[in-house]
Amino acid sequence: MVTISTRIELGSYENLFWNYYLILEADLVKSFEYCELSKDNYRCYSARYAQMLISIASEFEVICLELYKNWFASEHRVKDKVKIIQEVLLKIQDDYFPTDVKIQDVIIKTKYHALDVSPFQTLSFGKVTNMNWKKACNTLKHERQTGLESGNLENAINALAALFFVETVLIMVEKERDYATYNIVNKQSNLFILDRDLLPLNAIPLSEVHMNT
């Protein structure tokens, strides 16, 4: 059971969530100094990547909970974390995507070698824990002695792309709530690129979601 508290205040988002995202992102980008971001290196694993994956997946749950509070808290539909993630991703698909696009189709560009990431490709709404990076995180938490290989570059970057995606949606939701006064996120991602053709969200123009300094 998850306890629902009050929603975040306008203007506090950057300090509470986005800056934390940037720290997680910076950790992963730092690793590219010794492990080039390339599909050839996707199976490269280490305790450091394992730690990154667990931290990123945990923050993904936090942001999904924030979205859940925005959309469902007034209905008192409090559920476990897996149900919250499932309902949030379903609502994003239903409310923000064209009818012919599924959340599994989301592609997020990186700024490195034009590499694309599809963090929800293996998503099944019947069991959201089947996303490869989410499954890998659970393996690391519960079977680390035999599953350290799950802490690899591929799972870490897919988890971070998923987090970047829900962070973007949360900004859009908060901005819709008070469009005239909302002014947040002054630091851009150093890793991912928002592209309307590859990230098909229908709400506020993406150019207004992440603002330059």
pTM, two decimal places = 0.85
CB 55 within 8 A of CB 163: no
CB 32 within 8 A of CB 191: no
pLDDT in tens, 111-141: 887 899 999 999 988 777 789 999 999 999 8
List Cβ neighbours of 23 (8 Å cut-off, separation of 6 or more): none
> Which pLDDT value is given to residue 202?
58
Q: Which secondary structure element, helix H or strand E, spans residue 192, and what is its range?
A: strand 192-193
List Cβ neighbours of 22 (8 Å cut-off, separation of 6 or more): 187, 189, 190
